[in-house]
Structure 1
Amino acid sequence: MSLLKKTFQGAIKISIRNYSANTGLIKPPKILITGGLGQLGVECAKHLRGKYGKNNVILSDIIKPSTEIFNDGPYIFADILDFKGLQKIVVDHRVDWLIHFSALLSAIGEQNVPLAVRVNIEGMHNVIELAKQYNLRIFVPSTIGAFGPDSPRNPTPNITVQRPRTIYGVSKVHAELLGEYYHYKFGLDFRCLRFPGVISSDPPGGGTTGILFK
């Protein structure tokens, strides 16, 4: 079993157990994964489809999928900057859970900061507002990049000085705090997990780890 698959099984099983225990799960949830063609989305979809069924997990992105990915299960075009388009997807497909992977990673984000602000911050605003409006459960991964050079190390506490030095890191701190706020203000079921650098058999996706291991 790959390291990436083990990571996702550990990260997502907690939410799965809590959902089943708290709701007396009768039918499987309908799950939408944004930014699904990155290093994380495809593996996540495989795991969730194995548990909830092929047709209950919808991968989405703005690029053309490979034939293999297209044949593995539902795939649709979804632009996270298009709120109305996302709204239509959630309603038409009766989405229950939203897993939000869409982002410009650290290395690419530094090359185009205005675009990174739009994708990483405005896109986050869109999906979290959708989650509130339609009572979705939402998972948004964060990153080790949410910490900065002023953060204490070995061990780094969960609650500490962050001050990241990349727009990707800044956007993830924003996502963490926005999700926490929506939870306390509106009761939104928001989940977040800070991933370390991710290494997989897939090509690098534009993050710092991808640069280090090219």
Structure 2
Amino acid sequence: MQSNTTLTFYNQNAQDFTDSTIRVDMSALYREFLPTITPNGHILDAGCGSARDAAYFKQQGFTVSAFDASEELAALASQHLQQTVEVSTFQQLDRVNQYDGIWCCASLLHVPKNELPNVFIRLQNALKPNGVLYVSFKYGTTERVDNGREFTDLNETTLTSLIDACPQLNLIKHWQSADQRPGRESESWLNALIKAVPER
């Protein structure tokens, strides 16, 4: 569960957070993710924030679903996306074999480290066979509180161990990138594309 502290932050700062993230250029990440998704396929933007990315995917002809744990963010995101954004957490995700792609951009990092294994199983189950999952975490090895939000940082080793514990997930690639927000360029992110392999 996102902690009450983190949820309170997003509920109290939903408009500021939306304003500061809605125009960030994510095209480099889209170029990695979208070619792996079936044309016109169904993408889940999980922990969608402002729905910036979901709106882009929708413009590209994909079917889009989205959720966020923050009621206030989900309300703003629904307006931007022009469809309902569900209020939900990763721990409540119970879909099976439903999505061609799942996009978890800077969202899983608020899940406590001890809950991530269960969440990765839920993401695996929600993907169709050969579906692709994108995840990003701030690069590191700590659980920490920063400016009223709780973060779980991962590196390649900790991320790989999470993926290895899911029998149907295969790592396609991982890479590091700099934060795209002005003034945050020194912050490093760990990105990964992960594929759901059909059961043998």
TM-score normalised to structure 1 length: 0.54
Q: Secondary structure at the match of 2:181?
A: coil
1:14 equivalent among 9, 25, 32: 32
RMSD of aligned alpha carbons: 3.9
Question: Is contact 2:94–2:122 with CA below 8 Å preserved after alignment?
Answer: no
**Which runs of 5 or more structure 1 residues have no equivalent in the other structure?**
106-114, 147-163, 210-214
2:89 equivalent among 79, 92, 109: 79
Cα distance in 1 for partners of 2:67, 2:22 equals 23
**Which runs of 5 or more structure 2 residues have no equivalent in the other structure?**
1-20, 145-151, 188-200
Determine the structure 2 residue equivalent to 1:95: 99
Runs of 4+ in 1 over 6 A off after TM superposition: none
Q: Secondary structure at the match of 2:94?
A: helix
Question: Is contact 2:69–2:87 with CA below 8 Å preserved after alignment?
Answer: yes
Amino acid at match of 2:78: F
Is 2:49 the counterpart of 1:58?
no
Question: Is contact 1:35–1:60 with CA below 8 Å preserved after alignment?
Answer: yes
Is 2:123 the counterpart of 1:123?
no
Amino acid at match of 1:117: K
- Is the strand fraction higher in 1 or 2? 2
What does the per-residue CA deviation read over 1:75-97, in whole Å, with 9 as the maximum and x for residues that have no partner?
A: 12332123xxx233x55xx4221
**Aligned residues: percent identity?**
9
2:159 equivalent among 169, 175, 182: 175
Question: Is contact 2:37–2:101 with CA below 8 Å preserved after alignment?
Answer: no
Report the count of equivalent residues: 155
Is 2:181 the counterpart of 1:199?
yes
Determine the structure 1 residue equivalent to 2:56: 47
Q: Describe the shift of the 1:100–1:57 C-alpha distance in structure 2 as closer, same or farther (beyond 3 A).
A: same
